[in-house]
Amino acid sequence: QKEVEQDPGPLSVPEGAIVSLNCTYSNSAFQYFMWYRQYSRKGPELLMYTYSSGNKEDGRFTAQVDKSSKYISLFIRDSQPSDSATYLCANGTGTASKLTFGTGTRLQVTL
């Protein structure tokens, strides 16, 4: 079992829809949680970072962490075609520097 699991998709939604991307993890040592966006053949770009259970909002993006169920979500409101990318969740521990990534969910927002 991988430490971080994501549904690979692809997930196709119409423009303006609310998108829900999900991630589960198995390592209880993970203390901080991130979402990265990666366009095709580009480097991952940090979208959201959080280290506690609950919600964190930044513009159209909301990250939600439930440590009790080891479940992480990213919500995108008013989705745009420019949101079409692969979304990677990443987890890390407090003392280690390396991040453990999920394999990513490919999102396609159609006009």
Q: Where on the chain is the footprint of another protein (CB under 8 A)?
A: 32, 34, 36, 41-46, 49, 88, 90, 92, 94-104
The nearest distance, CB 53 to another protein, in angstroms, is: 17
Cα R_g (the chain), whole angstroms: 13
The nearest distance, CB 33 to another protein, in angstroms, is: 9
Q: Considering beta carbons, is residue 35 or 79 the nearer one to another protein? A: 35
The nearest distance, CB 34 to another protein, in angstroms, is: 6
Question: Which among 32, 76, 40, 71 has a CA at the least distance from the CA of 58?
Answer: 76
User: Which run of H or of E encompasses 20?
Assistant: strand 19-25
CB atoms within 10 A of CB 21: 22
Q: Considering beta carbons, is residue 98 or 111 the nearer one to another protein? A: 98
Q: Considering beta carbons, is residue 30 or 79 the nearer one to another protein? A: 30
Token pair belonging to 42: 């580009």
